[in-house]
Structure formats: structure tokens, C-alpha cells
């Protein structure tokens, strides 16, 4: 989809202009005029055909315009929109923005689909409906009913909520943060975030993407775009609805279903986006990236303060944001010691002490600026008797301009610091009300993942497995025997095991293991929740116990009337570390791999991590979890890690070879010093 | 310690007044005058004996004043302070504030101790040294070098950092937040937080305590005071230095050693204080408690917004702050449905939609005000085209005045919302830049623990155990045999166990268990880290394995030259839930009980909770942990909980009977459907 004429229209018609200044049509017209739009404005409204707006004759309908219009903005009641679209088609209009509300968001999906289909067929780009419009400051275009016109800048802001647009705009005007593109997506009946990311990826005006999304259109495509764009241009994503409480609320708003929060988080993060969860984070990032986008955002933070306690308080929060307190180079400490009074703390956090003037800040900043062990610098100021708020702000600004380190400030107080805040803003030094707010943003920037391109997986199908899967299609899960065939094929180590219906044969098999333990369980396509069915006997290591278990299970099979039931006798894998591996199919992002603490701990500690497949990120997955630490501390740890990665690779191969497998559950996989054994292995179709 | 004359001095001398307006002595004098102090001001400085300050003759020294002074503020170089104190003693001065720095904070502990001792002996209350001074707005006293005089209010603010004082004061002046007492503790050579809490507990002016502490003087006393005061007056505590990174930094600042963060947190929380970790939280709490201190701070939050997406974003954060999204009563939903347009969301979060005017907010607020299922209300506003910022602010203010619910606002934007913010502040409605900041404070208030008074433990010593402990004093830990005697006495279930040096006897004992497993390990007062010594053999269930283990252990004993070594044979407790119980002695708070996930999971998941002893809070400790959830899901759960609580009670009794026990480590305690067995039990003296 080419949006060139959308971003640079030579002609813009407004359907729904009005005499009343309060009507949205008038507001949009005035906004266009105020923005100094250089193209032709075409007012349209059958009520006012005799009149002129902005010196232009008002047309009754779009098709009265002689040539094809580049952009038509529609602000008429929902019920009349379709007719206007028909007329746009007649005019060969290239782009349409439907401001009008009253569509999918209140349940009128039918009419929304209709106008969407018509636009698609006519190759008209459609923005909206139910949106604020679009603003392109550098082209002098404000085709929206916004209150205020943002300055030119480098943020492409794309939001699915109009209110979020107006709040952001109001904030940005006060902070003097500029935009290249400011787009309200509305109900996304036509253009979506995908189209804008594609069309703006290479636009030199755009240096930062900020997305507010309530639903996503094409997860795989979105991830691919993030992977491609994020190494050059940071992409911030704010997506409401991560909590259970919010899920219910979201569905009633903009008609969007919220995706699985954990999967989304993993998908965005690993593609290289910065996901945020509050407006505070979003605005903070926009400020820092706008002012300091080309600076160093490493993890090693230096804190400079004129209040020791406040420095320590701030240091406390460094770990919480996954940052590191920079360890100064010896020359830094030597030079600080030379230049600062003896009461000062010359280690990080540097305490200039209460009587620090601007000059002392300047000297310290210059020394920190030369330290290669520092990535980001947070400058704190509390207003004390001899504090020079203005001079200090000036020195910070001067220093920030010349250094490659990311310098941000937090002046804490009220009336006395105001003049300093003004100087910081004028000089484009990001500044935060509280040190905690600053660290939050520094942490988000430092912990942005490097975008990784997904590996290509060569697939290969085996007719035997294909048949197994096809035959089992009516069943919920694959029978144990088939699972073990697949395990063998994909080199997954499983316990020695055999199924029996005959007591004597079973006993002979089991006895070979004693006094080692075996496990007895029911094997039947009907028995999913085995423990509840009293279907598992552990620690069977004598004939007596075996007989007891066999009788119990046989009775259970009878009572539950299980079909095709057998009793499975399985080597019991002794004490090891229990982990879980799983595959799931996400409606937005496709196949997802889960790794983490297994057994009873999966549900309790939620010590798990996810990747959208395909991935080659297996070692990192292990590192990310706490159970990974256990494995690294275990005997035979190298083997454990190597075997685990092999299992993960083979698991990925399996679901790419047979995408008809919907989910796989391996819980637990037991890691012993000698083996990594898949003890419980379920395949769901 | 009686501080009556400190809070209401009839005479105040300033030692170190000066001609130069910039000198601190002059600043303090001017501050006192500006505060309209009604008592007698006595300027003191031998340099200016011929001069008058504020119409008062300057004295050469304090003792030149004929009567005993109520308060002397000292602002002379550190080296001269002792001489002035001597003179105060001569004058029979009642209270002294030493503003001067240059004492303990830069290593001059000696002179600090000296003046402290002299004051104690002479019964002079000493504040400082190295402090900003003290301000009592309602008595018209500003005996500090602060910049500005806060308004009268209900906060007793007590801070160990002068810079934190100035930042807070500057913030409070802008927000028009008042104080009853504003005290800078400095190095705490005399008066500490304890003295002020004791003396202000019953003061009707004080409704809120805010403490900034870098060290604590008497943990047990502090906890007792918090327990007593917090049911009537909230106590907020901010204590830097919780992180490892900060520990190093703190020790170089104010000479204070930071206490164990986990213990402190448990101690404060369970005594009923609100501990905060950032200035944002502290300031937010002070605003809400000052304006809405008498309102309902329950967990059930209603969110009201004119932007659906922003409402959902906010809802997402409700869980993070341990709040609940209020479930509206049926009448609320009915009434909202009747009064709001059909596009509105009438469930929580209530979305008034973008064109909401002030009236619509008013109507919705009135309906929410009648819902008994709502405790706190967060009103959000984004500036949209038809938003009435001022009118809405007025309606919120009017509603907030008449309701018992805690109402706070967050208007999101910049220029357009300013007028609304002014109205909110004027009407004392707490307001936050971002919804996330508001929820943070609502969460802190809702999750404040009810103060619990500690139970009284009756102690009883047994001469036999006393002797065991005395005999083991030279050893690091108690020998196994003694531990098991204590276990028996305190009804702690331990595995069947016996120690042997004779192979044959040992084999006979072990064989009785086979094919059940036994554990063989070395028992020697020298062997602490058994696994590393190759000192534990698990899963021994045959004679062959027994022989192998015995030989191995015997060899280890020989090689390590362990004294008094025996081999212990112990019944192996099979699969259960592993928990940890521990006792430690904290330098500030005394005996502390730890409960949580045991075995390898203790170190990895840190799923533990603490209580300062004595406590009766055992069931809550179990509930607070995730391992507690496992136990509640386990078979025999009632038994598990009952047995666990019994162990905890007995453990507490043990360390109260024998406080010479420094720490106890029970890891793991294994919970099976039938028993709660202390498998590993160490007592350290």
C-alpha cells in the first residue's frame, strides 16, 4: 500500500463543513488553515452550495470536483458515510479519513465492513472510522479536530485511541516535543499500524515510533517490521489490557479483543521494541528519545547529587530498573577527590554535599564525562541555601550537549527549582519530577533487546507421523504409544516404559527394576488428568506395592469406564531438577515456546519465559529463568544445558514439521546429572 | 524525655549571629522574626557585644543571660561547639539545637560523643549536630535556616537528611501542604525519632507522621511506638539503603549503618507503618493524607474516565498495586445505564466517552458515591474537544467534600488541563500527573497492615538444655545429639535416626528400613557443609548400597581428620513439600522468624516471609508465601497447616526460653500428607 499521496495530498476535501464554528467540520477546516496547508482545500456540504469557505466554493458532493481528490475527510453522521464513500469512488479519490463515530465501536459492524470493502475494492486508503484524524506537521497538514498543532519533530505517533492522542498532544505542546506524523487509527477498518510502519520505515523524518494499540492486525507481520525497523529507529508500544481485570473492560471498548499479555510481551521484546505499561513511561521515553536519541543508553549509570540521602534513595532503585551503578575508573575517583571538598562522596553516587554551587556540578560533570565506564548520567538537585539552581541547570545543559552519554536531570522541590526546569527544557535536557521516574526510563532504554531476525526452519514430513496425527484427529490428545514414536524420531529421551493389560507380564517387566522405583499409571486416550483419577502410583519398588497399585488402577479403569485402557509401567526418574517445556499456538503470533520451572512449581512461581517461534534464542531462555540458575549450579550442568537446548531445537523442528500440532506439554522434564528425561509428554491436536 | 519547652520555648538564644546577612546565624534570626515568634530572642556572639540584633542586645555568651534559656541554637564552627555547650550547662539551658556540621559525618566522632555526654549529664535536650534546625509553624517558630516557612498543618515531619528537608519544604510550599512539626535530626547525638514519636504521639495537632531515617536508634522501641500510634495516626517511613549497591554508599554518609532491608520491611509493615521507597510515594501519601486523611482507604477502586483506553491502561495497574477493581452494585449499573449515553461503559472502569462534559462527570460521581462496594475513586480526565476542564474540576471538588470515599484525580495533558489542576489544588483534591502515580498511593493506603500488639511469651528454662547449650558454647553449632534432645522437648518431629561408629550395629539398624530409603551422613561438630564434604548419601535401600556409603563416609572422616565423628543413619523422608524455617538475631529488631520455600528453592525463588518476634501471626505467614499455596493445595492440607503452626510456635518458645541461641536453621522441613518433619535442624550459638 503506497501512502505517498496520503502524507502529501495536493487537494483535501472536507465533507461536512458547516457555518457553525463548533461543528467538527469547521474545526477541521480551521485546523487545516491554521497549519498553513499549501494545497487546495475543497469544502463539501449540500446545505451550503451557495457559500464559500476560506474563499473556496462549497460543493454539494465530492464527485462535483473535476479531478480526483488526494484526500477526503468525512465528518457526516454515520448513516451518511457510505453514500459519501460511493461518491469518493466516483471521484477516484485516493485517500479517505472517516472522522465520524457510530460504527464497530457501538456494534454497527455491518456498515463498517461495507465501507471497508468498498474502499478496498476501489483501492482507496481508508483511515478510521471513529478517529481524530491525522497531522503531518512538516507538510503543514492538520486533517484532524485536534486542539493545537504540534511542532515539527521526529516522532511518528500512531494511536488507536483518540483521547490518548489529545492527551499526548496537550502534553507535547507544553513540553515542546515535536512529531513527524500524528495519526489516530480509530476502528482500523482500513489502514492499520502495519501500513504506517511499512510506509514510514525509511522516511528520514521519522526517528522514533510510538504506538498505542488496543488490538493488532497481523502479529507475524508486526514482529517482522519491528525486527527490521527497531535497530535503526526505536519503537515504543503501549498496549492496554494486560491484566485480567482489564480484559473484560477492553472488549467493550473499540470492539477489540486483547491478546495474551505474556506472549505479546515476549514477542515485542525479542523483536526489539520497547514495550511500556503506563503513560508515564511512554511520555518519559518520548522526551529522552527526542532530546537525546543519539546518545549512549548503556546500563551503567552515574548519579550526581547535592544530597547524600537522596543519592542513596536513588541508588536503591537502580537494581529495580535492571540498571547498574557504574564503577568509576580510578582516574575519575582520583580527579573527583582532587577537585571536590573532603566531605564529598567521590564514589557513585557522587555527593557534592549541600553547599555545592553550579561550578562544583560543572567540575564533577566534566570528570564523569571522561569516564568510559559510565553510559548514562542522572543529575539530582535539591534546593538548599547555597544551591545555584539556574547556574547548575545551565552547566548541565552545556555538558549534555557535548557528551555522548545520556544525561537527564531531576530537580526535586517546588517553587525554587522552577527557573532551573525552564532552562533545562529550553536546552532540551530531559527532566523528571522524581529520580524514580528518570531511572524507569533509563532502565527501559538500557534493557531494550537487540532485534534478532528469526532463523529459517527447513521442514520435513514423515508419512508415518503424518498418519499417526491424522488418525488421532478425533481424539483430544495423541495416545501414549504415538507420542513415544514421535519422541524417538525427534531424539527425545523418555523413561523406559511399556503398556500392559496382563498382570503377569506386567509384574515380570516391573520386577526387573526393583528395588529401583517404577511408576504405574493408566494409559487411555480418555484419561487426561491422571492424578485426579487416582491414576498414578509412584515409588513402586516391591512386588507387594506393585500388586496394590495394579489392583487400584484396574478398579479405577472399571469405575471410570475408560476405553482402550492399559496400565503403563514406567521407569521412575529419580530426584533431578524439574522443568517444563511447552508449545502453544497464539492467535496473533502463531507457535510459541515456553520454558521454565516444572512440576508443581510451574503454577506457583510462574518462573517461565516465552519465545515466538522460530527462534534460536534457546540458551538465553535458560539464562532468563531462575530455574536456569539451579541448572547452572547443578552437577553435570554443561550436559544439562546442552541436552535442554537439543530438546528445545527438536521440539521447534517438530511443530514446524507438523503445524497441525496445536500444543505440546512436557511437564516435567527431569534434569539429572546424566540425562534430560521427558517424563510427561502430551501432544494436543 | 519531656520536650514541652523544646516545642514551646519562651526564650531562644542564637549563638553565632552575625552582621553578614549570608551567615547562617543571621538567616536563623531572620527566620525566627519572619515566623512571628512571640518569645524573647537572645542574640549571642562575642564579636558583636556592643550591637543590637532585632532590637535585642547581643550577649558575649549564653551564661550572660540572667535566667535559664529554653532553647539555644548554636551555629558556630564545630571546634567551638563544646565551649558553648559548657556555657549552656552553666546557664541551665533546657534545649539545644546544634546546626554546625563537622562532627560524626566526617569522622569526628569523639567531639560528638563528648557534647552528647555533657548534654545527657546536664539533662539538656540536644538536637543535631549537622542539622537544618526545627520548625513548629503553629507556635510561630522557625529555628532553622530553611528557605521559606511552611503553613500550619498536621504532618510531623522528622528527617535525618537536611537536603531531604529542604526539598520537601519547597515541594510543600508549592502544593500548600502544611506541617505541625518540621524537624531535621542531623547526626542524632541527642534527640532521635524515638523521642519525637513519644512526645508527639498524643499531640492533637499531629495527624500524620513522616519519617526519613538513615539509621534507627532502638528497633524494639520504634516498633512498640509504631504499634501504639499507627492505629490512630498513619506513620510513613522512608529509609534509603535497601539495595546492596546503596549499602556501600550509605556508610560513607551520615556515618550510619543501614539495617537489613528485609527485616526492616517486615518489622515496619507488621507494626502498622507505611514504608515507602521513593520520594514520589512519600509526597503522594502526604498529599492524600493531608487532604483526605479521614476518608475510606479500602481496596475496592472505581475508575471514572472520559477516555476508554486510558481507563483500561489504568485498570491494568490496579492488580500491580494490590488493589481491586470495585464490583459495582446492581443499582449503580442500572443508574449509570439510565443516565449515561449508550456508548458509555457503565461497568468499572466507567467510560463517560470523549464528549463528556462536566455535568456527565457530576452525575456519574453521584451514582458512584452511593455504591457501598466502592472504597476509593480515581477520576481521570483527558482534554478533548468538548471536555469542560474547569467545570469538571469543580464538580469533583464538590463531590469529594461530601463523600466518605477517598477521591483523587489525574488530569492527563499539559496546557489545557492547567486551570483544572488549580481548581483541584485550591479545593484540596489530591491530584497526580499520571494515573499510575495515583494508584501507587491508593495501593499503599489500602494495603497498610493493621497494627498488632505483640503477644507476651512466658518463658521457662530447663537446666538440662541450659547445660547442653553452655557446654557447646565453644562450638559453632550444637551437636546433632543435643539438637535432637531439644527437638524432643519442643515436640518437633524429626526423622528416626541413630549414630554409629560400629559397622555391624549400623547395618542392623539400617536393614530394618529396606527397601525404604535411609540417609547416611557424617555427624561431627566440625562438619557443617556436609554435601561439600561428600558427607551425605541418599536413597540407600540395599545392603550393597549401605556398604558403599559406609566405606565412603569412613574414608572422608579419615581424610578430613574429623574429631568425634560418627555416622548417622536416618530414615529418609520421601517426597513432600519442602519448606524452610529459620530464626535469626537482627541487631536492630532482635529475634526474627523466617518461613518459606525450602530446599534448593530457598535461594532461587526467595519465596520467604519474616516476622519480628514475638508474634502470633503464623497463619498469615503461611498465606503470604507461594509455597503456602502449594501446601493449601496438598493432600492433608489442614494437617500440614496445623503442624506447621505448631512448629513455628514451638520454635518461638525455644528462642524465648533460650535467647542465647543466635540462629536456627530448619531446611528442609518436609510436609507430607501425614507428617511435618524437620529433616535438617541446626542450632547456632
Quote the cell numbers at residue B260: 537489613
Residue A258 distance to chain B (closest CA, Å): 11
For residue B531, name the pLDDT band (cuts at 50, 70, 90): very low
Return the pLDDT at A484.
85
Nearest CA in chain A to B630: A604
**What number is the average pLDDT over the span A629-642?**
71
Return the pLDDT at A256.
41
| Other C-beta atoms lying within 10 Å of the C-beta of residue B388 | 17
Residue A351: name the closest of B186, B251, B98 by CA: B251
Strand partners, A377: A302, A407
User: Which of A247, A388, A414 to mutate to probe the B interface, most B CBs <10 Å?
Assistant: A414
Return the pLDDT at B571.
92
Return the pLDDT at B472.
85
Is A280 close to B434, i.e. CB distance below 8 A? yes
Residue A418, exposed/middle/buried by CB under 10 A (0-12, 13-18, 19+)? Answer: middle
CA dist., res. A69 & res. A489, Å (int)? 62
Asked whether the beta carbons of B465 and B485 are under 8 A apart, the reply is yes
**What number is the average pLDDT over the span A264-287?**
95
3-state secondary structure B153-188: EEEEEEECCHHHHHHHHHHHHHHCCCEEEEEECCCC
Mean pLDDT, chain A, integer: 91
Using a CB–CB cutoff of 8 Å, tell me whether A106 touches chain B. yes
pLDDT at A250 over 60: no
Return the pLDDT at B552.
87
Report how far apart the first and last C-alpha atoms of chain A are (Å, whole number): 37
How much of chain B exceeds pLDDT 90, in percent? 74
CA dist., res. A16 & res. A43, Å (int)? 8
Report how far apart the first and last C-alpha atoms of chain B are (Å, whole number): 37
Mean pLDDT, chain B, integer: 91
Is A254 close to B24, i.e. CB distance below 8 A? no
Chain B residues close to A316, C-beta within 8 Å:
240-243, 245-246, 277
Residue A278's alpha-carbon distances to A281, B313, B316, B606, in angstroms, are 5, 7, 9, 28
Return the pLDDT at A556.
82
Return the pLDDT at A526.
65
CA dist., res. A631 & res. A637, Å (int)? 6
Asked whether the beta carbons of A375 and A300 are under 8 A apart, the reply is yes
Using a CB–CB cutoff of 8 Å, tell me whether B601 touches chain A. yes
How much of chain A exceeds pLDDT 90, in percent? 74
Residues 334-373 of B with CB under 8 A from A: 342-343, 345, 347-349, 351, 354
User: Closest to A604 (Cβ–Cβ): which among B24, B414, B630?
Assistant: B630
CA dist., res. A406 & res. B560, Å (int)? 56
Residue B186: name the closest of B247, B112, B236, B251 by CA: B112
Asked whether the beta carbons of A324 and A299 are under 8 A apart, the reply is yes
Residue A675: name the closest of A495, A480, A487 by CA: A495
Residue B291, CA atoms < 13 Å, CB-side half-sphere: 26
* Strand segments (E) across A337-453: 350-351, 376-381, 406-411
**What number is the average pLDDT over the span A390-395?**
98
How much of chain B exceeds pLDDT 70, in percent? 95
Nearest CA in chain A to B349: A249
Residues 235-254 of B with CB under 8 A from A: 238, 240-246, 248-250, 252-254
CA dist., res. B217 & res. B158, Å (int)? 14
pLDDT at A257 over 50: no
Return the pLDDT at B528.
53
pLDDT at A386 over 90: no
Chain B residues close to A514, C-beta within 8 Å:
515
**Residues A563, A569, A575, A581: is their CA dihedral positive or negative?**
negative
* DSSP assignment of B127-146: E-SS--EEEEGGGTEEEE--
In the three-class reduction of DSSP (H, G, I as helix; E, B as strand; rest coil), residue A20 is classed as: coil
Residue A307: name the closest of A340, A271, A352 by CA: A352
Quote the cell numbers at residue B243: 539495595
* A325 dihedral zone (left: phi>0; alpha: psi -120 to 50; beta): beta
CA dist., res. A480 & res. A464, Å (int)? 16
Using a CB–CB cutoff of 8 Å, tell me whether A27 touches chain B. yes
Q: What is the CA radius of gyration of chain B?
A: 32
For residue B668, cis peptide bond before it (omega within 30 degrees of 0): yes
- Helix spans in B244-324 (H): 244-251, 261-271, 279-292, 308-320
Using a CB–CB cutoff of 8 Å, tell me whether B629 touches chain A. yes
Strand partners, A160: none
Using a CB–CB cutoff of 8 Å, tell me whether A631 touches chain B. no
CA dist., res. A350 & res. A348, Å (int)? 5
**pLDDT of B17-56, one tens digit each?**
999 988 999 999 999 999 999 999 999 999 999 899 999 9
Return the pLDDT at B310.
93
Is A164 close to B626, i.e. CB distance below 8 A? no
Asked whether the beta carbons of A659 and A630 are under 8 A apart, the reply is no
How much of chain A exceeds pLDDT 70, in percent? 95
pLDDT at B360 over 90: yes
Residue A537's alpha-carbon distances to A494, A570, A681, B446, B517, in angstroms, are 18, 10, 17, 46, 17
Chain B residues close to A145, C-beta within 8 Å:
385
> Any residues with CB less than 8 A from the CB of A79 and at least 6 apart, and which?
A102, A111
Nearest CA in chain A to B326: A245
pLDDT at A531 over 60: no
Percentages helix, strand, coil for chain A (3-state, rounded to 5) are: 40, 20, 40
For residue A129, cis peptide bond before it (omega within 30 degrees of 0): yes
Return the pLDDT at A31.
96
Residue B585 distance to chain A (closest CA, Å): 24
Using a CB–CB cutoff of 8 Å, tell me whether A172 touches chain B. yes
Count interface pairs A-B at CB distance under 8 A: 282
Strand partners, A407: A377
Return the pLDDT at A253.
43
pLDDT at B499 over 80: yes
Nearest CA in chain B to A309: B161
Residue found by looking up cell 553452655 in the block: B470
> Any residues with CB less than 8 A from the CB of A428 and at least 6 apart, and which?
A290, A291, A397
Strand partners, A378: A303, A408
Is A436 close to B212, i.e. CB distance below 8 A? no
For residue A539, name the pLDDT band (cuts at 50, 70, 90): confident
Is B436 close to A163, i.e. CB distance below 8 A? no
| Other C-beta atoms lying within 10 Å of the C-beta of residue A333 | 17
Residues in chain B: 685
More confident residue, B257 or A498: A498
**Residues A112, A115, A117, A123: is their CA dihedral positive or negative?**
negative
* Residue A268, φ and ψ in degrees, nearest 5: -65, -50
Asked whether the beta carbons of A396 and A424 are under 8 A apart, the reply is yes
For residue A67, name the pLDDT band (cuts at 50, 70, 90): very high
* Strand segments (E) across A528-651: 536-540, 566-571, 577-586, 590-597, 608-612
Residue A191: name the closest of A116, A273, A135 by CA: A116
Is A212 close to B384, i.e. CB distance below 8 A? no
Chain A residues close to B629, C-beta within 8 Å:
604
Return the pLDDT at B527.
56
In the three-class reduction of DSSP (H, G, I as helix; E, B as strand; rest coil), residue A180 is classed as: strand
The separation between CA B139 and the C-alpha centre of its own chain, rounded to angstroms, equals 31
Asked whether the beta carbons of B579 and B644 are under 8 A apart, the reply is yes
Chain A residues close to B310, C-beta within 8 Å:
161, 163-164, 167, 240, 279
Chain A residues close to B435, C-beta within 8 Å:
278-279
> Any residues with CB less than 8 A from the CB of A320 and at least 6 apart, and which?
A439, A443
For residue B614, cis peptide bond before it (omega within 30 degrees of 0): yes
**What number is the average pLDDT over the span A360-375?**
98
* Strand segments (E) across B549-598: 566-571, 577-586, 590-597
* B322 dihedral zone (left: phi>0; alpha: psi -120 to 50; beta): left
Chain A residues close to B431, C-beta within 8 Å:
none
**pLDDT of B364-414, one tens digit each?**
999 999 999 999 999 999 999 889 999 999 999 999 999 999 999 999 999
| Other C-beta atoms lying within 10 Å of the C-beta of residue B201 | 15
Residues 393-412 of B with CB under 8 A from A: 412
**What number is the average pLDDT over the span B181-209?**
97
Give CA torsion, residues A618, A623, A626, A628, to 10 deg.
Answer: 70
* Residue B207, φ and ψ in degrees, nearest 5: -120, -15
For residue A404, name the pLDDT band (cuts at 50, 70, 90): very high
Residue A300: name the closest of A443, A202, A440, A504 by CA: A443
Nearest CA in chain A to B160: A309
Model pTM score? 0.91
> Any residues with CB less than 8 A from the CB of B505 and at least 6 apart, and which?
none
| Other C-beta atoms lying within 10 Å of the C-beta of residue A56 | 15
pLDDT at A289 over 60: yes
Q: Is the ipTM of this complex over 0.95?
A: no
In the three-class reduction of DSSP (H, G, I as helix; E, B as strand; rest coil), residue B450 is classed as: coil
pLDDT at B542 over 80: yes
Amino acid at each position: 500500500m503506497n501512502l505517498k499521496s496520503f502524507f502529501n495530498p495536493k487537494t483535501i476535501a472536507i465533507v461536512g463543513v458547516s457555518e457553525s464554528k463548533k461543528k467538527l467540520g469547521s474545526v477541521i477546516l480551521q485546523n487545516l488553515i491554521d497549519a498553513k496547508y499549501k494545497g487546495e482545500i475543497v469544502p463539501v456540504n449540500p446545505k451550503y452550495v451557495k457559500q464559500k469557505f476560506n474563499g473556496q466554493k462549497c460543493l454539494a458532493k465530492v464527485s462535483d470536483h473535476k479531478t480526483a481528490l488526494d484526500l477526503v475527510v468525512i465528518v457526516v453522521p454515520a448513516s451518511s458515510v457510505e453514500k459519501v464513500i460511493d461518491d469518493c469512488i466516483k471521484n477516484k479519490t485516493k485517500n479517505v479519513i472517516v472522522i465520524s463515530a457510530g460504527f464497530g465501536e457501538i456494534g454497527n459492524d455491518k456498515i463498517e465492513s461495507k465501507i471497508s470493502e468498498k474502499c478496498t475494492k476501489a483501492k482507496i486508503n481508508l483511515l478510521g472510522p471513529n478517529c481524530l484524524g491525522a497531522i503531518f506537521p512538516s507538510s503543514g497538514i492538520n486533517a484532524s479536530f485536534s486542539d493545537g498543532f504540534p511542532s515539527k519533530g521526529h516522532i511518528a505517533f500512531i494511536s488507536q485511541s483518540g483521547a490518548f492522542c489529545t492527551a499526548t498532544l496537550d502534553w507535547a505542546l507544553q513540553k515542546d516535543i515535536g512529531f513527524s506524523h500524528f495519526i489516530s487509527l480509530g476502528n482500523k477498518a482500513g489502514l492499520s499500524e502495519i501500513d504506517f510502519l511499512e510506509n514510514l520505515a525509511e522516511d528520514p523524518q521519522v526517528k522514533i515510533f510510538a504506538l498505542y494499540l488496543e488490538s493488532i492486525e497481523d502479529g507475524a507481520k508486526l514482529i517482522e517490521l519491528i525486527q527490521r525497523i527497531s535497530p535503526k529507529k526505536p519503537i515504543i508500544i503501549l498496549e492496554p489490557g494486560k491484566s485480567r481485570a482489564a480484559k473484560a473492560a477492553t472488549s467493550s471498548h473499540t470492539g477489540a479483543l486483547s491478546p495474551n499479555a505474556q506472549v505479546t510481551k515476549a514477542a515485542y521484546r525479542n523483536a526489539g521494541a520497547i514495550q511500556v505499561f503506563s503513560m508515564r513511561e511512554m511520555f518519559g521515553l518520548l522526551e529522552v528519545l527526542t532530546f537525546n536519541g543519539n546518545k549512549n543508553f548503556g546500563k551503567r549509570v552515574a548519579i550526581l547529587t547535592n544530597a547524600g540521602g537522596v543519592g542513596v534513595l536513588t541508588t536503591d532503585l537502580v537494581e529495580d530498573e535492571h540498571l547498574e551503578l557504574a564503577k568509576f575508573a580510578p582516574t575519575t575517583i582520583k580527579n573527583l577527590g582532587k577537585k571536590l571538598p573532603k566531605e564529598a562522596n567521590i564514589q557513585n553516587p557522587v555527593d557534592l554535599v549541600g553547599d555545592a554551587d553550579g561550578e562544583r556540578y560543572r567540575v564533577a560533570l566534566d570528570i564523569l564525562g571522561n569516564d568510559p565506564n559510565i553510559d548514562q548520567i542522572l543529575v539530582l538537585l535539591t534546593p538548599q541555601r547555597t544551591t545555584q539552581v539556574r547556574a547548575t541547570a545551565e552547566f548541565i545543559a552545556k555538558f549534555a550537549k557535548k557528551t555522548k552519554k545520556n544525561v537527564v536531570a531531576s530537580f526535586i522541590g517546588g517553587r525554587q527549582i522552577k527557573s532551573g526546569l525552564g532552562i533545562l527544557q529550553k536546552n532540551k535536557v530531559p527532566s523528571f519530577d522524581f529520580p524514580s521516574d528518570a531511572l524507569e526510563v533509563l532502565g527501559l532504554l538500557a534493557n531494550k533487546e537487540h532485534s534478532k531476525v528469526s532463523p529459517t526452519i527447513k521442514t520435513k514430513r514423515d508419512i508415518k507421523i503424518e498418519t499417526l496425527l491424522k488418525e488421532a484427529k478425533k481424539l483430544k490428545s495423541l495416545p501414549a504409544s504415538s507420542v513415544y514414536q514421535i519422541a524417538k524420531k525427534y531424539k527425545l529421551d523418555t523413561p523406559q516404559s511399556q503398556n500392559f493389560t496382563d498382570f503377569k507380564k506386567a509384574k515380570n517387566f516391573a520386577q526387573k527394576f526393583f528395588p529401583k522405583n517404577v511408576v504405574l499409571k493408566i494409559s487411555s486416550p480418555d484419561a487426561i488428568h491422571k492424578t485426579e483419577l487416582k491414576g498414578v502410583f509412584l515409588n513402586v519398588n516391591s512386588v507387594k506395592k506393585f500388586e496394590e497399585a495394579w489392583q487400584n488402577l484396574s478398579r479405577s479403569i472399571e469405575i471410570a469406564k475408560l476405553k482402550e485402557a492399559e496400565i503403563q509401567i514406567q521407569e521412575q526418574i529419580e530426584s533431578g531438577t524439574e522443568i517444563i517445556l511447552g508449545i502453544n499456538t497464539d492467535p496473533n503470533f502463531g507457535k510459541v515456546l515456553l520454558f521454565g520451572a516444572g512440576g508443581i512449581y510451574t503454577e506457583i512461581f510462574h518462573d517461565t519465559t516465552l519465545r515466538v517461534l522460530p527462534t534460536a534464542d534457546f540458551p538465553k531462555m535458560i539464562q532468563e529463568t531462575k530455574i536456569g540458575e539451579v541448572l547452572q549450579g547443578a552437577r553435570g550442568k554443561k550436559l544439562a544445558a546442552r541436552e535442554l537446548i537439543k530438546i528445545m531445537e527438536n521440539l521447534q523442528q517438530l511443530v514446524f514439521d507438523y503445524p497441525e500440532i496445536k500444543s505440546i506439554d512436557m511437564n516435567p522434564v527431569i534434569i539429572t546429572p546424566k540425562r534430560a528425561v521427558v517424563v510427561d509428554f502430551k501432544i494436543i491436536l
